[in-house]
Structure 1
Amino acid sequence: MNPALARLPLRAALPLAVGLLLLLVVCAGLWGAWKEGLQQLDTTAETVLRDELFRLARHAGEHGNVHPDALAQDIGQIATHPLVRQVALIDHQGRIKQAHRRAWVGRPAAEVIAEWQPQRLDDSLAQRRADVRWDEPTRRLSGLLSYLQPVFEATHTRQLEPALAYVQLDLRRAREDLALATLRNRLPDLLAIGALLALLAGGLQWAVARPLHALERASRLWADGNLEARAAERGPAEIAHLARAFNQMVAALQHSRGELSASKEQLSTVLYSTGDALLATDTERRITLLNPAAERLTGWREHEARGRRVDEVFRIEHAHTGEPAEIPVQRVLDSGMVVGLANHTVLVSRQGERIHIADSAAPVRDGRGTLHGVVLVFRDVSEAYRLEQALADSEHHYRTLANAGHALQWVTDLQGRGSWCNDPWLAFTGQGREDALAAGWLGAVHADEFDQALLGWRGAVDAHLDFQQILRLRRHDGTWRWMHVEAVPRRSPDGRSLGHVLLAVDITREHEIDSRLMAQVEELRRWQSAVLGREERIAELKAEVNTLLIRMGETPRYELLTTAAPRTESRSLPASLTDSLPT
């Protein structure tokens, strides 16, 4: 759109737009009427052409050689038609036999007829119907119709030879007349539209442009900051409602401005009262805000630091190496993401004091997402750092003690998964620490004791109870070692369960000694049973001999005991021996 048109005032733009619309409607009507007239003209012209062709061909075929003057008169009459431009009779060789112009007679048709096509001669002679064609560039309509005319030879023999009747119509003048007639017919409509346009322009000026102009003046006052101004609520209902809505919007804006001022004051109070240190910068990395907590840690006053580059005020180093650490402001500006400080960072204050800090840097954006700067939030973590170091030293001391002994140790979480194992376990199994933690201590248990160990371990983990079993664990060389495995729950200072501490002690030697002792005891029991059985059998034989001697009337030879101790009691070992056996 032209910028000059886009800046037209509404009092001129509205009538102009309506006028253009009405003009478009009228032009569309004129175009439609003209196209309809053109269609009727073309239909009429084609009808006239065909009628004249048939009449000329009939007269030429019936009276061409008998009454040539009458045929010439007929051709002249056809040529007087307003649409007819050319009339001619053409023989089968393409020469003019008769025409509306006598100078054409006897000449080739191609010389006098500009649009003549030789191929059309052959096509028209070969058919019995009219060959009608349009020449679009010149808007001319031409037609050829073949007929047979009698020819008398010297012998007075009558023959028929083919010939063509040719008529051409020129519609250019008729089209111009049609356009003028259409325009004259539509002239009253154009005058009525002009009058309507004038009335409409006056009505729009009074009803629309004036109220909108008043609304524009009020909007200019609002743009200059005068929110006390109000727009006149007059004009059509829509414009009056619009002015009322603008007045309500300005009133709401006044209220929001007041709330924003109060909110800004409250936010300032919060920022300057919070315990965390806050440092804000612009996109050029220059400080725009430093709250009291940040003043205490950096040693700079806000009015001194404002406008300075952040690296002048916020100096940080690595706690162990003393090398300068990266200030995350530039990374936030580049990425637009929240960035934290590296571990073990110290802040060097203006007075040279080194303070362990933890912080994060976040982008500052407006409501549209535009980046306006960075805010650094940091705090003194010196005490927390000291406690963390003490905890790390304590953990290192515990792990040193755990690795110095021979017991295999595990630390597990609440689900029974291993979180740490000592070096003796790794040396015993030959595993790496990651593989050991992934497999768990149950991965080294012998298949014969695995189900019992798993059942007992799951019960102890779920109920947070002690666990104790004797089982075999696989050593790195593939041998199995008997272990006394015991686990006790881990608890926090407030009594919460944290998991278990598991110890496994190799008792293979003790187990082998117990096994040998049990084998020896079993051997003694077998010998005792064998001796007792022999004495009982001797007693039975003596009894049988005495019985036979008595039956033979002789005196018994052997003296038998009257009572015998039960066999089960005679097999028992002394209590001093059985008490020493392992269970």
Structure 2
Amino acid sequence: SREQLQQQEVAVLDLIEGFARTALLTSQYDDIQPQLEQLTRNDLIELVVLADEWGIIVAASEPGWVTKSLVEMKDYANYPQLLWKERVLENAAGPLGILGIAFSEAPLIALHDRVQALAIGWSAGGLILILLVSLLSAHVLTRRLERITQTASAVAGGDLCARSSVSGNDEIAELSSVFDGMVSSIRIERDRLAEREQHLSLTLNSIGDGVIVTDAEGRITRMNPVAESLTGWPQGEARGRPLPEVFHIISAITRKPVDNPVDKVLESHHIVGLANHTVLISKDGHEYQIADSGAPIIDEHGNILGIILVFRDVTDAYAQQAALSNSQKMLSEAQRISHVGSWELEPKHDRLHWSEETYRIFELDPDSLSHLSGEPYFAAHIAHFRNTVHPDDLPLLDATYTASVKDHAPFENRHRLQLPDGRIKYVHERGETLYDSDGSPLRSIGTVQDVTERTLVEQELTAYRNTLEERVAARTAELLDANEELEAFAYSVSHDLR
């Protein structure tokens, strides 16, 4: 009887191990719960539990044990007439969890008591007959258990088409039926997993960014082709290695190593991003400017199962950004030297954007505009622009712009700025409007040039010219008068000489 029980213990552990391993790998514990409950219909099985690698029960034939500690379970299983058996489930990366079963010895003890009672009352010949029948039954029982064990071994070897198919109405037949049903469920789940794996692989391989997945300890479990290309590590070589060994990142500014993203995610339990100017050094020494983010993979109990890291090569983008920044600096410097600013107006939204030189020309501080007006400073621009334009020049300025928009024609205008301290500045504006396919104005763009010095010089020249003309006119009048006097004198002398 003890040997039979041990054989059945091994058979039960073998038949459920594959399904338990699948549940731990996929965290799909709801699928295994009904199978565990069905196992306890056999009188020899009192309780079946599945715990994760931390010893927390994630599935049980009695749902009340779920989320409890395996230590509590073992205390219960140590009751008389209960035999506790467990098997540690592992994969290449390490422990997955523990499968535990509490077997009941009561049915075997009851059978033993019945045999003893019969032996006392029967004759020696009858006792021999009973022993022969018992031996024959044990032989048949052993063969049926061996069939289940052999089938379990075949299933463990990957043959999910194997079936034990033990007939009868006893516990062994019921165990065989449960086992065959579980194998069918495992096969269905395997096919579902294969389909999900294929879909996941296609998705990861289609992503334009690099993707690296690690377990909770930061060991790499998966990479997509982009990640392989950027790191220089094939997935087969990288799998199982710590992330920093493959994902070697440093600061582009200090050239010092950057903190491991896995540590940041494990500490915060939230999505984290790398700092700017992070450089990835590939296996062959090539350097890439990258941007990335890491996120935790969390199960329904809030446990972190792993980390997913998504990153992309921004080397070209950084170069373009640097070139653009340099161009903007050069443009800003050129505008400062020439005293020519630029502006852009979105008529539909009344948004006005100015360059730095435009702010300098209008002598306004962009950071203080919103505080002065109580509005976002794109709105304050328009208000301050109109408040700064000389009131006498606003009507002509509005009319010029309105006519330009209506006629789809460029415009230019010279007007005055009246500053808070009373000073007057002169600016020359040029602009044109861009339109959509319906002819509605999209935005107006233009330049504004500080022509105060030129205008003042022109005014001085005009005043000097006017003064000079007045002087010339006065001198001409004097000369005319003198000429008339000379003519009169000449006439008088001529008359006297006669």
TM-score range relative to shorter protein: 0.3 to 0.5
- Max Rg structure: 1
Q: Give the alignment's TM-score, normalised by structure 2.
A: 0.47
